[in-house]
Structure 1
Amino acid sequence: MMTGKVSRWVVIAVWIIVATILTITLPDVKDRTSNNTADLPADSASVVADKLIKKEFPNSSGIPALLTWHREGGLTEADLAEVQYLSKELTENPLTQQSFLPPLHEIPLPALQGSVSEDGTTFVQPLFFKENTETAVLEKNLKIINRIVTERVGLDPFKVQTNTEKLSLRVTGPVGISVDATGLFSGADFQLLLATVILVLVVLLLIYRSPLLAIIPLIGVGFAYLVTSPILGFMADHDWITVDSQAISIMTVLLFGAGTDYCLFLISHYRSELRHHESKREAMIAAFKDSSGAIAMSGLTIVISLITLLVAKYGAYHRFAVPFSLSILIMMLAALTLVPALLSVFGRASFFPIVPRTPEMEESRAKKKGKTVKKHKEAGRIGNWIGNIVTTKPWTVILTCLIIFSVLAGYSSQIKYSYDILSSFPEDMNSREGYKVISDSYTSGELAPATVVVDTDGKDIDLADELKKMNLIESVTDPINSKSNKDLQSYEVTFNINPYDIEAINSIPDIRSLAEKELKAANISAVDEKVWIGGQTATQFDKRDTVKTDEFMIIPIIIVLISLLLLAYLRSVTAMIYLMGTVILSFFAAMGLGWIILHYFMGVEAIEGTIPLYSFVFLVALGEDYNIFMVSSIWRKKKTMPIKQAIREGVAETSGVITSAGIILAATFSVLATLPIQVLVQFGLITALGVLMDTFIVRPFLVPAITALLGRSAFWPSKVAIHKEKERAQ
């Protein structure tokens, strides 16, 4: 259908019409993103605790913004007067969704000075907003605060360096973090898209040296995005899914990387067939027949891997599932319909100025110009060399690869993980600078204290003294009784370390155990149901547990599903086992190498805790893509030639296109490493390294060497015909 004189234009027209209608009638997904959606399940301990705290202790409800006033030489009375002026102004003219503001303007100036840090440089003014306030509203409110203070002091306090003698103001805490996180992603979208398009275009031009051929894959990706975006926008508009900016950013990279790969595999086959068929239509039919199965299979592999994220309990994982899988599914359809139709329209002109022709066409053309025909070599020298190595010295290749991967994989066990959202921000980000000022001037735990609530059953219990004895606790407030339930008491616990540090996170079970122990000592029953711990540290503890639970659940599911797909496609248990084994080993090696670079060369102390599952989903699915394309070539050739020859020719045939595809895919993921968001830098680097390992080690060396070593056993129990010629040492 994609090759007919009329039908090819029908296919192109259908894509144009569908993309146009969807773009006009449905909202763009970027207009329906939500960046403050909860990541933890509603039944998580910290979520239940925070809900109870907001209900029973309303004075502590709301999202806090910590306005951090700082002057390196020491705050003056005039500076504190500005704090009081802002307090008075916001009390008389509350900001949108403002819920609570301590009346600092009613406090005598000498008393206010008592709340300044011991070194006299810093004062923290808390401001609370209602729960579920949109980030856009919070951002607008911070701009109003900025304007009020700027008009009073005569300069922008948000831009004043915190290490100067001038008065500076930073907004940190949950509000500052939320606003900064949204700003990072909103600024990164266009930068990421532009960089990815330019990168893919340049690499395609270098590979094919054909302007038209460099543009055709981008057209396919562009139409896939134009169709995907409004569909996702429609789904988000009807609350079927929730989409955040981070998911859209990575989805864009995935579309360009994987989508271009699919186009390259088809283009490579088409170019090869144009050297055997004078008719461009017959060449496309043959190319489509040889490549469509592998393209569909690899696309389904990624789609199924990504859709498994729907079973995740952690919200960020869950939100990735539909955008990623849908975008790849639509891109796969574009690669199997739109791109073949475009290539059929342009034919050999697609490859201009290096146009592929049949030997007869070349000879006829040469005669007209009075030149000698140059014989074309189907496979490059490097591809032939690799094919010979893996078939003549399989043990050497396998052992070398396993040693390299094992050493690198060993470093993956040394990785330290962080759940500190601030560590993902640039050091000069407003909220991160505010946190540093607080941690330098006060105790760092004041940024995010924990709240411990206990049900005393009406008995006289005071946990404050016992909580203060814990090593990581700086201070504990006196108990506050709930107005609606006198049996409930709350304590505000301040850590003496960063409340996002692993040590603080690990202390949550200890705090709970201590509280339960004291309740037991007072002869209170069912103590496990009468202790609640809220706050950011408790939230990070639940995040870590939820992420780990998802890893243990999703990773096995992905392995099983991809294994079944491989088994159905190749009809070989043996091949399924070693193809899965190689990409899993490659994943651990990529994690290890990523840690070496991030930790020992870039000074990263810990990587974000969600990175392992993100990287696994992409690397295993994308790694199998390359295996499928290369192995499908070997499978096809083994029907007409000895196995070792099939391996040599299969490796040589696919080496160029898979290498090109791997470079493009790795390059697109590496674009993420240019963004000022550490979680994307880490994910982009590790994924790019994994793709390069699959491209230059697993696919050309390890998998073919294992196939050569196993011989006929590599296809067991496949019944597909194998060439009966006696195997010789070739």
Structure 2
Amino acid sequence: MQEKEPGGYGKWVAGKKTKWITVLVWVILAVVLNLIWPAVGEQENNNAANLKENEPSVIAQMVADREFPSDSGIPALIVIHKESGLATEDLTKLQELTLQLEEKPVPHQTAVIPLHKLPPPALSAQLSEDGSTLVLPVFFEVEADAEELGQGLDGIKSSMTSIFGTNPFDADIDSGDELSARVTGPVGISVDATGLFENADVSLLIGTVMLVLIFLLLIYRSPLLAVIPIIAVGFAYIVTSPILGYLAKQGIITVDSQSISIMTVLLFGAGTDYCLFIISKFRQILWNEADKRKALFQAITSSSGAIAMSGFTVVISLFALLLAEYGAYERFAVPFSLSILIMFIASLTLVPAFLAIFGRASFYPFVPRTAEMQAERARKKGKPVPAPRKKKESWIGSVVTKRPWTVIVSTIVVLGILASFSPQIKYTYDLLSSFPEDVPSREGFTLIGEQFTEGELAPVQLMLDTEGKDIDVKSRLEALDYVGMVSEPEEGSVNSDILAYQVELSMNPYSIEAMQHIPDLRSEAVSALESAGVTASDDKVWISGQTAEQYDTELAGEHDARLIIPVVVGLISLLLLIYLRSLVAMVYLVATVILSYFSALGLGWLVIHYGLGADAIQGAIPLYSFVFLVALGEDYNIFMISSIWQKSKTMPLKQAIKEGVGETSSVITSAGLILAGTFAVLATLPIQVLVQFGIITAIGVLLDTFIVRPFLVPSITMVLGEVAFWPGKRKVAAKEEQVHTFH
């Protein structure tokens, strides 16, 4: 008689025939999608605007473009420096360079400051006070992307090498008699930022794959089992990439290097976690079930709900980023959520199919077998029958059930102390501070600050509508202690009543201090208008420039945090309520993860500030970290609490907590180490925003893995007892009812 295929969801993805169909479907999807649609890497746009059109600095820039149009383009500031002083010969060669660039422009160049037309006194006036430094602006097309700008800079480097006989861009800026050159300004910063992320992509992918592979080999000591999750994640990425590429090509979404880099980490970290949830369950059941198919189907049935719930939690949380005003946040939403959606589908289909194909051999050489199978195997080999495998009691399970109040108080004190450091965090929105110190654009900016004034790099443009009245704005601005220099006013080409002033600040224009002076400048302009009898309003005063953009970025980030954080908390709470049907459990599961988040911020700040010497962290990191840590941290809570809820149907709650913690402990610890490790890979990159994000997120994952999930959550469940299920009720097992009746 033919053996009947076990029923359930598993037979559709991992049955005798369907396992091959599942693998074939994924292969076909991967091949076809990559043939018809472009890869996401081909559609990256690293110059996408981050601010909406209604932001004050964006409106101001539109006014500037209308009233004070410039055909020059976007500037590259070439900082030429010689420690011993620029000689007449050096200046002559620089004049030769500008003549060449004027006659034969490099790709995408629009203009150059014609040093060759300046008489010697005027040329000398361009030098720094000690005569060691000169800044040469070269302008490029506004529409040019980073790659095209890079081509133009390569042309300039080639010309300078030819004229000077050596490449000054490779020279050490501290060398006494050697001429050096660095490119900074908008063009230099854009090219360097893109180059850092491009280099990061490859090293990040290699580092992440190797780390996951090593962790899996150490944990399971099975070569085949280490490869299965990697293959599953690989398929998920190969399928995700063309879908995102198509959406980007159609203009539905915008993707950049930063989002793709973090998406890769997220896929390998979270994706491997989902794979481990089902693999560990399969392994556990194989110790007691001889039929590998039945064991696999039981594993799928018992873990699929928690995996799906965990996946949906992350997907929906990341989708909430679509509500963001700030473009960089919004661009994260679709790549991250779509990749996780496809990944947890792969973990529920492709991974079971692979496990069905390889069966017990997946765990070779440490194959899980039932006691009967081990005895039979020993008899065939003529060896003594091994003793039955004893189930180890979890010491953590014992601690949280015997001393729950001690655990709760101690863990909350530790987490609370760490969280108390989070209000001390200082933030920055300066892109340059995110670069390594030896990046050319940062070296060039530092030279400008030392030899001239930092405010020259990015002056603030203040415009106001005077309605034709004589207003002395220049002297009022020059009297401000944070203003270094103010240009003469320029009249608008469309509306001559609009005057523009170039205001150089006496500080780093990218600093938090400079940003906070934007409202002060606006207030000063408003006061000047009102003193002349002009009714001031938003359409009378405009401020543009990098400092104004960063100030609006800060405000947009604060708005997004106020909106998105409550939305994420609300969505996760709703999903937990639907899944667990317990209001009480939902409250303490969300509360513990939020506490863990603030603890991660506090500890992360201690590491970044005191350990790495950073004065501030990037302003975008708290919201990024919140969305990731709250969603991913809830994953582990869901997986563990699901086990407790399931076991509580057949045993006393205390025993269910003890066994649930013990049963999920090893897999969640493994998953947490892998996830934290993948985020920690970001800390090896040369980009500070990714380093800081990686450190804080890795710390948060470790706190969830080793404190919140194994100790705090089960202890709270133990103390609350039956109340933890409110307003639902726990289904009491028959054996437990008998015990209560006896007592």
TM-score by length of 2: 0.96
CA deviations on 1:83-104 (whole Å, 9 max, x unpaired) are: 2222211111223333332222
Aligned partners of 1:449 and 1:492 also within 8 Å:
yes
Per the TM alignment, residue 54 of structure 1 is displaced from its structure 2 partner at its CA by 1.8
Within a 5 Å distance, the mapping from 1:65-144 to structure 2 comes to 65-144=76-155
Aligned partners of 1:73 and 1:121 also within 8 Å:
yes
Within a 5 Å distance, the mapping from 1:587-626 to structure 2 comes to 587-626=597-636
Q: Kindly report structure 1 stretches of 4+ aligned residues shifted beyond 6 Å.
A: none
CA deviations on 1:300-345 (whole Å, 9 max, x unpaired) are: 0000000010110101001000000000000010000000000001
The answer to whether 1:479 aligns with 2:492 is no
From the superposition, tell whether residues 477 and 159 of structure 1 become closer, same or farther in structure 2 (CA, over 3 Å): same
From the superposition, tell whether residues 60 and 122 of structure 1 become closer, same or farther in structure 2 (CA, over 3 Å): farther
Aligned partners of 1:435 and 1:447 also within 8 Å:
yes
Decide which of 47, 62, 71 is 1:36's aligned counterpart: 47
From the superposition, tell whether residues 74 and 19 of structure 1 become closer, same or farther in structure 2 (CA, over 3 Å): same
Aligned partners of 1:2 and 1:344 also within 8 Å:
no
The answer to whether 1:240 aligns with 2:252 is yes
**Letter paired with 1:157:** P
Q: For structure 1, which segment, 256-265 or 90-99, has the greater mean C-alpha deviation from structure 2 after superposition?
A: 90-99
Aligned partners of 1:33 and 1:242 also within 8 Å:
yes
- For 1:51 and 1:61, how far apart are their aligned partners in 2? 16
Decide which of 685, 689, 700 is 2:710's aligned counterpart: 700
Decide which of 341, 350, 354 is 2:362's aligned counterpart: 350
- For 1:144 and 1:225, how far apart are their aligned partners in 2? 37
- Give the aligned partner of residue 663 of structure 2: 653
Within a 5 Å distance, the mapping from 1:267-286 to structure 2 comes to 267-286=279-298
**Letter paired with 1:689:** I
CA deviations on 1:144-189 (whole Å, 9 max, x unpaired) are: 0000000111111111011112111111011000000000011111
Per the TM alignment, residue 374 of structure 1 is displaced from its structure 2 partner at its CA by 3.3
- For 2:557 and 2:269, how far apart are their aligned partners in 1? 27
CA deviations on 1:46-96 (whole Å, 9 max, x unpaired) are: 111112112211238621111111101111112222222222111112233
- Give the aligned partner of residue 198 of structure 1: 210
Per the TM alignment, residue 295 of structure 1 is displaced from its structure 2 partner at its CA by 0.3
Name the SS for the 2:172 alignment partner. Answer: coil
Aligned partners of 1:218 and 1:260 also within 8 Å:
yes
Name the SS for the 2:538 alignment partner. Answer: helix
Within a 5 Å distance, the mapping from 1:234-633 to structure 2 comes to 234-369=246-381, 370-379=383-392, 384-633=394-643
CA deviations on 1:373-399 (whole Å, 9 max, x unpaired) are: 1332444x5xx1110110111110000
- For 2:384 and 2:582, how far apart are their aligned partners in 1? 50
Name the SS for the 2:516 alignment partner. Answer: helix
CA deviations on 1:357-413 (whole Å, 9 max, x unpaired) are: 11111111122222231332444x5xx111011011111000001100111000000
Aligned partners of 1:39 and 1:315 also within 8 Å:
yes
Aligned partners of 1:117 and 1:442 also within 8 Å:
yes
Name the SS for the 1:64 alignment partner. Answer: strand
CA RMSD across the alignment: 1.2
Q: For structure 1, which segment, 318-327 or 366-375, has the greater mean C-alpha deviation from structure 2 after superposition?
A: 366-375
TM-score by length of 1: 0.98
Name the SS for the 1:583 alignment partner. Answer: helix
Per the TM alignment, residue 351 of structure 1 is displaced from its structure 2 partner at its CA by 0.3
Decide which of 168, 178, 196 is 1:157's aligned counterpart: 168
- Give the aligned partner of residue 4 of structure 2: none
**Letter paired with 1:322:** V
Decide which of 679, 687, 691 is 1:669's aligned counterpart: 679
Per the TM alignment, residue 485 of structure 1 is displaced from its structure 2 partner at its CA by 1.6
From the superposition, tell whether residues 280 and 573 of structure 1 become closer, same or farther in structure 2 (CA, over 3 Å): same
- For 1:132 and 1:304, how far apart are their aligned partners in 2? 35
CA deviations on 1:472-501 (whole Å, 9 max, x unpaired) are: 110001111122221011000001110011
- For 1:352 and 1:111, how far apart are their aligned partners in 2? 79
Per the TM alignment, residue 4 of structure 1 is displaced from its structure 2 partner at its CA by 1.4
Aligned partners of 1:516 and 1:531 also within 8 Å:
yes
Q: For structure 1, which segment, 103-112 or 150-159, has the greater mean C-alpha deviation from structure 2 after superposition?
A: 103-112
- For 2:94 and 2:59, how far apart are their aligned partners in 1? 35
Name the SS for the 1:2 alignment partner. Answer: helix
Q: For structure 1, which segment, 334-343 or 93-102, has the greater mean C-alpha deviation from structure 2 after superposition?
A: 93-102
- For 1:442 and 1:722, how far apart are their aligned partners in 2? 78
**Letter paired with 1:128:** F
Per the TM alignment, residue 434 of structure 1 is displaced from its structure 2 partner at its CA by 0.2
Name the SS for the 2:421 alignment partner. Answer: helix
**Letter paired with 1:375:** P
The answer to whether 1:8 aligns with 2:2 is no
- For 2:386 and 2:527, how far apart are their aligned partners in 1? 90
- For 1:160 and 1:727, how far apart are their aligned partners in 2? 83
- For 2:94 and 2:349, how far apart are their aligned partners in 1? 64
- For 1:632 and 1:61, how far apart are their aligned partners in 2? 63
Name the SS for the 2:415 alignment partner. Answer: helix
Aligned partners of 1:53 and 1:61 also within 8 Å:
no
- For 1:615 and 1:425, how far apart are their aligned partners in 2? 20
Per the TM alignment, residue 443 of structure 1 is displaced from its structure 2 partner at its CA by 0.9
Unaligned runs of 5+ in 2: 1-11
Decide which of 63, 70, 86 is 1:59's aligned counterpart: 70
**Letter paired with 2:388:** K
Name the SS for the 1:528 alignment partner. Answer: coil
Q: For structure 1, which segment, 486-495 or 359-368, has the greater mean C-alpha deviation from structure 2 after superposition?
A: 359-368
- For 1:111 and 1:618, how far apart are their aligned partners in 2? 56
- For 1:521 and 1:17, how far apart are their aligned partners in 2? 72
CA deviations on 1:233-289 (whole Å, 9 max, x unpaired) are: 111111111000010000000000000000001000000111121111100110001
CA deviations on 1:409-429 (whole Å, 9 max, x unpaired) are: 000000000011000101100
- For 2:283 and 2:252, how far apart are their aligned partners in 1? 43
CA deviations on 1:543-583 (whole Å, 9 max, x unpaired) are: 00001100000000000000000000000000000000000
CA deviations on 1:95-116 (whole Å, 9 max, x unpaired) are: 3333332222111122110111
- For 2:14 and 2:531, how far apart are their aligned partners in 1? 81
- For 2:433 and 2:405, how far apart are their aligned partners in 1? 45
- Give the aligned partner of residue 9 of structure 2: none
**Letter paired with 2:559:** T
Aligned partners of 1:53 and 1:60 also within 8 Å:
no
Unaligned runs of 5+ in 1: none
- For 1:515 and 1:82, how far apart are their aligned partners in 2? 44
From the superposition, tell whether residues 604 and 74 of structure 1 become closer, same or farther in structure 2 (CA, over 3 Å): same
**Letter paired with 1:658:** I
Between the aligned residues of both structures, percent identity stands at 57
For this pair of structures, how many residues does the alignment match? 725
